[in-house]
A and B are shown apart, each in its own frame.
Chain A
């Protein structure tokens, strides 16, 4: 059974940093693209970033470029999202998801990030 479990969310002040983690199990983690998708309270889904299976390339939505970094540790079957210089508009539930040919076929339950003073 595929499982994705996010952690690391919480309350952070504007300009602060946070690192999200996602523990994967039940599939061959090291051969799949992995993705972060977020959802602001009461709003729609927003694709944030993704990383290639070997971690050699990353892709980002324009609004987080230069502030967020996606990475992975295939030995630990873990995905990460380092978020720096956080803004109020980054407040959202962040989902870790497995991607296959531009579709996200498995999702975690999400972790809430709140950026507020």
Chain B
């Protein structure tokens, strides 16, 4: 049950776009369209931002978008805003119905 691989950090200036990657294997990210992305501010519980690779829950700005190619999923944040500064985690269904998370990416808005 190895975790998914994310870059430890990412950054961008206000108004710019930034993309965070999430790399797994054909047994998780590549095998299912059950990739989710979560935003976590310090001291707070995570918040679901993207599910099933590309879908946004109600209330999540359309500046947040998801995609997948092969064993790598990506989260793109467009039009960066100060409040987007947070930790972001991907997750995927794994074998046997388990779930696995990525190690997390700290997004800094410069």
Minimum distance in angstroms from B18 CB to a CB of chain A: 19
Q: Are A102 and B36 in contact (CB under 8 A)?
A: yes
CB-CB under 8 A from B3, the residues of chain A are: 44
With A35-B99, A103-B52 as known contacts, state yes or no: A95 contacts B45, CB within 8 Å: yes
With A45-B38, A45-B89 as known contacts, state yes or no: A104 contacts B103, CB within 8 Å: no
A95 to B99, CA, bound (A): 15
CB-CB under 8 A from A103, the residues of chain B are: 34, 36, 48, 51-52, 91
A70 to B38, CA, bound (A): 23
Q: Are A105 and B46 in contact (CB under 8 A)?
A: no
Chain B contacts to A: CB under 8 angstroms? 1, 3, 32, 34, 36, 38, 40, 45-48, 51-52, 57, 87, 89, 91-93, 96-104
Could you list 29 A-B pairs, sorted by A, with CB under 8 Å?
A35-B99, A37-B46, A37-B101, A44-B87, A44-B104, A45-B38, A45-B89, A46-B101, A47-B98, A47-B99, A47-B101, A59-B96, A59-B97, A59-B98, A61-B1, A62-B1, A99-B99, A101-B51, A102-B34, A102-B36, A102-B93, A102-B99, A103-B34, A103-B51, A104-B46, A104-B48, A105-B51, A107-B46, A107-B47
